[in-house]
Structures are given as C-alpha cells and as structure tokens.
C-alpha cells in the first residue's frame, strides 16, 4: 500500500517539478527578490505594531561613541595593540607565582612521595621510571606550566569576545585582508586560532568562497595557539625580560610576545598574498559583516565558564597527550643503542641542523616528540637538556622530566645546555612557524577533504620556520 502510494507520488512530483521549471522561466521577476521584499514588508508591519519606544534611548549613543573611538583612524590600531599587549602582560605577571606554587606541590612534594610509594610497592625499576618519572612528571609539568597562564588568558579573551570587540577587529583589519586577496572574515578565524587552531580551522566555515576559505585554513597556523603561549611566555620571561631592569621585565616580555603574535598576523597576510598570487589565484569576493551591539559581559559568569570550558578542556587535552609523550621521552632516554641512549643518538644527528638554524638538536627533537600537542614542547626540551648536559644534580637521572622551582634555575640549566639569546629568539620564532599539531592537521583534512592541501598546510609553515630561523641565525652570527 505504502509503496503504491510512493509510486504514484513520484510520478506527480515529477510533473510538479517540470511545471515549476516552466513557470519559473515564464515569470519575469526574480522570485527570490520579490519574496524577500514581501517578507520584509510584512515584518516591518508586524514589528511596527508590537514595538514602542516610550523613553529616549540612552545606549545607542554610548555604543556609537565607543565605536567611533575603537574604529577611529587615529586610535583604532593603537587601542587594538594595547589591548592585546595588556592581555599578555596580565598573563605574564599573573601566572609567574601560581606556576611556581603548583610545581612546588606536584613536583616538590608529591613526586618524591610517589617514588617512595613505587619503591615500597616493589615495582621494577623500569616500570617505576616509566610511570613516575615519565608519565607522572610530564603531566605535572604540563599542568604547572599551562594552567596559570590559561586561567588568566582565556577569561580575558572571553571578556573581550563577549563584549563584542572581535567583529570590530575584523572591521579594522579588513582592508589589509582585502589587499592580500583574502576574505575579511579571515580575521575572525584568525582570532579563534589564538585559542586553538583546530577551532580556528572549523571557524573558517563562515567564509563562503572556497578559495578564500582555503586561504584562511592554510594560514590559520600562524595564529599563536594556546599550546604555544606557555613556550612564548616562558622563553620571553627568562631570556628577554631579563635583558632589562627587573621592574620593566614584565612589560618587555609582554612586548616580545605581542611582537611574535603580530609577526604571526604579518605572516598570515604575507602568505595569503603569496598564495593568492600563485596557486590560489583569484579576486576577492564579497564581504558583509554584522557588527553586533556591545554587550557588557557578566564578569563572574564569564570567569567561571571560560575557566571550566576552555581552560579545563585545553588542559585536559594537553594532559592526554603528555601521558604517552612522557613515556616516550623516558623510554628514548633509557633505551640504549650501542651504549648511547636513543635520545642522545637522535640528538647527535639533529644537532648540526639545529645549530645551523640557531637552535639545537634538543629543540628539534622536542618538536618531533611534541607533534601530537604543542603544549609539551617546553617540558621535553628541559628533560632532553638535562640528558645532554648531564646535570645530574638538578634532575633525577636520565629521562626524568623535572620541575625547576625558579626561573633562574631553568635559565641556568638552559645556559648550561648552550643556550644563548639567539637560541631563545629563534625558539620563539620556530614555535610560531612550524607544523600544526596533529589535531589541527586532522581537522584540516576533514574540512578540506584533500590530502594535498593538508600537506601544504602542514609543510608550508615548517619550511617557513626553517627559512626564517636560518636567516635570523645567519644574520645574527654575521652581525656579532
């Protein structure tokens, strides 16, 4: 019975569709246009009957004044810069002390307890090493390095987002994006990328034109994501902040991080420009952006939700990746090949390349281990450095990731590993310019559906990273 009915329906549906096609050709007017006009006319009539404006509205003028300032010819860009620098500065000065405190607890107190516990349970040395010195320590490290900056940065960013500032940034920056052949909404996905590149890549769906969407996807990695903030902040604080008197250190480090973030935007624009003049040739398409009204954010609620939603989520992800990475690091440091540990063996080969780039073998190896998640770069770097320098006094033997209770200790360790200001600067650059993390790569593949573009998105930043660090190192050495 049902099948008969569908059979009949299918035939007459075809009739209807045929007829509709014919009528459509015969109708002179654009149906869509006529329809929208009629609907808007009705909407206006209904809204008019329902809405009254008894009082004089006070707000729109306030909104307007604010908008005039935030997008003004003179103040628009300086305010934008200041706001972002302020965010970084608050993050840097605010996360210093809590980071140390967390490390104190997790590493200073809990770790020895766990070691003893493992010993008293009679675990074999390798299991104890793998679990306590590898897995536990790397996790503890990630938490103490990442939690404080994120717990400060995300709420600040969310406050700006809820206030309605992001669309104004897109509005201010659109001209630049247009000139490089990109879509104005690319600046939205760019800002989402500051949170997480995978989210930024998904956010490019608001861009209609396929060409410009691809541009936005390919360049999203130049937005410094949260996994890389800790690296930037730590290195800037240790090596760059220390170049100036203590009272200026916070400001100067914030300035350095802002500069790297801006450089990322610069690369986004430059790469978009280059791509839209070569492989992704074409003209810019239409752009329309609604600027929503400012909405005073609810401070405490924002604080609470961004802490729960973003911070905990990102932290969780970092921990999930830190666990196996910790195990890998420990294993690579303790598996011996002909008397040399695997890690040392690999670093030996990576070192010449690293030095050429103004980095070192440790950093390169760390970036290979950290492909799953950028968050664990710094812990890995420190652990491997201990291995190389053999600073047994600080760590607890080979392949043990450890926490250094003060920045000074970290600094002296790194300097013992041969680090200079050049290494620091180039590490900050390389952290900006390298392949996206595995989640992002997977997201890019899902969104583009193309292995080719995924490969481009992965290798292009890496190639740029090599080129830029090499250039900086060469110039630096030549100049000094």
Partner 1 sequence: MSLPFIVSLVIIAALLLWPDSGLVARWRQARVRAARVRREDALKHVLKCEVNGELPTLNSVAGALHIRDGAAADLIADMEAHGLISIGEGRIRLRQPGRELALHIVRAHRLWESYLAEQTGVAEAKWHQLAERKEHQLSPEDADALAARLGNPLHDPHGDTIPAAGADLPADTGRPFSTAPLDTPVLIAHIEDEPEAVYRQIQALGLRPGMKACIFAKEDGCIRFWADGREHNLTPILANNLAYVPLVGTTREDLFDEEFLSELHPGERARMLGLSAACRGAERRRLLDLGFVPGTMIEVELVSPSGDPIAYRVRGTVIALRREQARLIRIGNRETIPTEAVAS
Partner 2 sequence: MSEVPNTAIAPPTEACAKCEVYRAANLKKLGVNPGQWDHIVALAGNPNTGKSTVFNALTGLRQHTGNWPGKTVTRAEGGFAYADRRYKIVDLPGTYSLLSTSLDEEVARDFILFGQPDVTVVVVDASRLERNLNLALQVLEITDRAVLCLNLMDEARRHGLTVDDRQLARDLGIPVVPTSARSGEGLPALLQAIADVATGRVVCRPHRLEQEPPAVRAALNELVAQIRRMHPDLPNARWVAMRLLGGDENLAAALQRGELGGQRAQAAVAS
Ligand X SMILES: Nc1nc2c(ncn2[C@@H]2O[C@H](COP(=O)(O)OP(=O)(O)O)[C@@H](O)[C@H]2O)c(=O)[nH]1
Q: How far apart are CA 201 and CA 227, in angstroms?
A: 16
Q: Which of residues 172 and 412 has its CB atom nearest to partner 1 in the complex?
A: 172
The yes or no reply on residue 450 touching partner 2 (CB under 8 A) is: no
Q: Which stretch binds partner 1 (CB under 8 A): 148-156, 252-260, 278-286, 462-470?
A: 278-286
* Contact pick of 133, 161, 351, 396 for partner 2 (by CB under 8 A): 161
The yes or no reply on residue 101 touching partner 2 (CB under 8 A) is: no
Q: How far apart are CA 428 and CA 469, in angstroms?
A: 10
The yes or no reply on residue 83 touching partner 1 (CB under 8 A) is: no
Rg (alpha carbons) of the chain, rounded to whole number: 27
Q: Which stretch binds partner 2 (CB under 8 A): 66-74, 298-306, 368-376, 387-395?
A: 298-306
The yes or no reply on residue 121 touching partner 2 (CB under 8 A) is: no
Burial class from Cβ neighbours inside 10 Å (0-12, 13-18, 19+) for residue 303 reads: middle
x-or-dash string of contact with partner 2, 167-206, rule CB under 8 A? x-----------------x--x---x--xx-xx--xx-xx
x-or-dash string of contact with partner 1, 39-68, rule CB under 8 A? -x---------------xx---x--x--xx
Q: Which does 310 bind (CB under 5 to 8 A by kind): ligand X, partner 1, partner 2, none?
A: partner 2
Q: Which stretch binds partner 1 (CB under 8 A): 145-153, 222-230, 265-273, 280-288?
A: 280-288
Minimal distance, residue 322 CB to partner 1, in Å: 42
Q: Which of residues 194 and 430 has its CB atom nearest to partner 2 in the complex?
A: 194
The yes or no reply on residue 447 touching partner 1 (CB under 8 A) is: no
The yes or no reply on residue 289 touching partner 2 (CB under 8 A) is: yes
Applying CB under 8 A, the site for partner 1 has a residue count of 44
Q: How far apart are CA 14 and CA 19, in angstroms?
A: 8
Place of tokens 């349970």: 121
The yes or no reply on residue 116 touching partner 2 (CB under 8 A) is: no
Minimal distance, residue 454 CB to partner 2, in Å: 16
Q: What is the DSSP string of 365-406?
A: HHHHHTTT-GGGHHHHHHHHHHHHHT-TTTSSSTT-----SS
The yes or no reply on residue 286 touching partner 2 (CB under 8 A) is: no
3-state secondary structure of 185: coil
Cα 468 from chain centroid (whole Å): 20
CB count in 10 Å sphere of residue 385: 25
Q: Which of residues 15-34 bind partner 1 (CB under 8 A)?
A: 21, 24-25, 32-33
The yes or no reply on residue 39 touching partner 2 (CB under 8 A) is: yes
3-state secondary structure of 223: coil
Q: Which of residues 162 and 447 has its CB atom nearest to ligand X in the complex?
A: 162
Q: Which region holds residue 77: left if phi is over 0, alpha if psi is between -120 and 50, else beta? A: alpha
| Distances, alpha carbon 93 to alpha carbons 224, 246, 251, 411, 458, in Å | 19, 12, 9, 18, 33
Q: Which of 383, 456, 444 is nearest to 193 (CA)?
A: 444
What the block records as the tokens of 40 is 């808007």
Q: Which of residues 337-356 bind partner 1 (CB under 8 A)?
A: none
What the block records as the tokens of 252 is 């100067």
Q: How far apart are CA 50 and CA 45, in angstroms?
A: 9
Dihedral angle, C-alpha 410, 411, 415, 416, nearest 10 °: -40
x-or-dash string of contact with partner 1, 168-187, rule CB under 8 A? ---xx-xxx-x--x--x---
Helix (H) or strand (E) holding 341: strand 340-341
Site residues, partner 1 (CB under 8 A): 21, 24-25, 32-33, 36-37, 40, 56-57, 61, 64, 67-68, 71-73, 76-77, 171-172, 174-176, 178, 181, 184, 208-212, 281-292
């Amino acid at each position: 019975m049902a099948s008969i009915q569908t059979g009949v329906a299918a035939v007459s549906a075809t009739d209807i569709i045929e007829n509709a096609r014919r009528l459509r050709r015969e109708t002179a007017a654009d149906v869509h246009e006529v329809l929208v006009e009629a609907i808007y006319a009705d909407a206006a009539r209904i809204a008019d009957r329902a809405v009254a404006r008894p009082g004089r509205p006070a707000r729109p003028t306030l909104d307007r004044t604010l908008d005039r300032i935030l997008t003004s010819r003179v103040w628009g860009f300086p305010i934008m810069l200041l706001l972002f620098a302020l965010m970084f500065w608050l993050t840097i000065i605010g996360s210093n002390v809590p980071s140390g405190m967390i490390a104190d607890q997790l590493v200073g107190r809990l770790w020895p307890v766990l070691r003893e516990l493992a010993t008293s349970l009679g675990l074999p040395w390798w299991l104890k090493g793998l679990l306590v010195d590898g897995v536990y320590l790397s996790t503890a490290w990630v938490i103490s390095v990442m939690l404080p900056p994120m717990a400060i940065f995300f709420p600040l960013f969310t406050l700006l987002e809820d206030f309605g500032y992001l669309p104004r940034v897109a509005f201010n920056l659109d001209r630049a994006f247009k000139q490089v052949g990109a879509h104005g909404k690319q600046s939205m996905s760019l800002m989402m990328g500051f949170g997480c590149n995978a989210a930024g890549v998904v956010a490019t769906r608001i861009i209609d034109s396929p060409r410009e969407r691809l541009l936005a996807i390919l360049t999203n990695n130049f937005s410094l994501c949260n996994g890389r903030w800790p690296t930037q902040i730590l290195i800037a604080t240790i090596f760059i902040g220390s170049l100036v008197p203590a009272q200026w250190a916070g400001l100067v480090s914030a300035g350095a991080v802002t500069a790297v973030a801006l450089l990322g935007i610069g690369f986004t624009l430059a790469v978009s420009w280059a791509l839209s003049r070569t492989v992704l040739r074409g003209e810019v398409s239409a752009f329309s952006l609604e600027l929503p009204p400012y909405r005073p954010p609810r401070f405490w609620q924002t604080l609470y939700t961004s802490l729960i939603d973003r911070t905990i989520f990102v932290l969780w992800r970092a921990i999930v990746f830190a666990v196996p990475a910790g195990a890998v690091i420990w294993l690579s440091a303790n598996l011996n090949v002909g008397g040399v540990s695997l890690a040392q063996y690999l670093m030996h080969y990576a070192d010449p390349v690293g030095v050429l780039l103004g980095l070192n073998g440790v950093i390169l190896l760390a970036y290979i281990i950290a492909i799953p998640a950028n968050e664990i770069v710094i812990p890995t770097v420190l652990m491997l450095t201990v291995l190389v320098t053999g600073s047994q006094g600080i760590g607890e033997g080979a392949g043990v990731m450890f926490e250094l209770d003060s920045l000074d200790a970290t600094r002296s360790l790194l300097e013992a590993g041969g680090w200079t200001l050049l290494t620091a600067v180039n590490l900050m650059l390389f952290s900006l310019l390298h392949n996206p993390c595995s989640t992002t790569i997977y997201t890019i593949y899902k969104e583009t559906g193309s292995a080719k573009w995924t490969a481009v998105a992965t290798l292009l930043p890496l190639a740029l990273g090599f080129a830029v660090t090499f250039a900086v190192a060469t110039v630096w050495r030549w100049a000094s």
